[in-house]
Amino acid sequence: MWSKIFALHPLVYGWRELLDHYWIGHDREPFAEHWRDPPTLEEFDWSQGDYYVTSISVPYMENGQMTIPNIELFQMVCRSLGITTKIAVLGRDRNILGMQEQRIRGGETYSEALSMYQRVVPDAFISFELLHLYRREYLWYLSKTLDFPIWADNLVIDTILEEDSNRKYFHPIEQGPIDDLARRSSAQWR
C-alpha cells in the first residue's frame, strides 16, 4: 500500500507496477536484486527519477528462508553514490501484525525488525492506522516530515485506501470492562 502511494508522484521512481495490481511479491520490487546484493546499486540507472522509494521487509522471505536485509550496506552504497537515504519504518498494530505473521509465516518475526532498529536508526515511523484515520492530512504531514514528495491529492489514494485490511481482525464486543465508567464520566454527574 505504501509503495503504491509513494510511487504515485511523477518525480518518484518506485514500484509503479503495483498501481495495476492489488499485491505483488517483494521479489518483483524494483530494487529487489539490489537488496540481495547492495553493491549492484552502482550499476543502477539513477536518471529514472528525482526521488526513489524502495520497500523491504525485516525480515523478508527469500526462497522460503527468513532473510535479514543488509540495510547498513544498502545505505552505505547509496551514500557513496551521493544518494541521500531516509529510512521510514512501516508500522501496524502489534496484535494485528502478530496475527498476520502467525497466519503467513507460522510465527512472530517482528522481533527481528526490533533488533535491526537498534543498529539502524529510522528517520520516521509510518503508521498504517494513522493513514486510514487521517488520510490526506497524514500524507501531507509525512511529505513534510520526510522532505519527500507525496501526491496526497491524487484521487487514486481513495481507491488504494478503500479496503482496510485491518478490518478482518476486528470483531465487536458488547461490553468492555470500563464502558459504564466511561459513560458516567462523560455525562454530567448528579
pTM: 0.83
Per-residue pLDDT of the chain (190 residues; tens, 9 = 90+): 999 999 999 999 999 998 888 888 888 899 999 999 999 999 999 999 999 999 998 888 888 888 899 999 999 999 999 999 999 998 888 888 888 888 888 888 888 888 888 889 899 999 999 999 999 999 999 999 999 999 999 999 999 998 877 777 777 888 888 878 777 776 665 4
Domain count, the chain: 1
Task: Kindly state the cell numbers that stand for 148.
Answer: 519527500
What pLDDT sits at residue 190?
A: 46
pLDDT of residue 6: 95
Sort 17 into a burial class: Cβ within 10 Å, 0-12 / 13-18 / 19+. middle
**pLDDT score of 188:** 63
* CB-CB contact of 113 with 59 (8 Å): yes
Domain enclosing residue 73, as ranges:
2-186
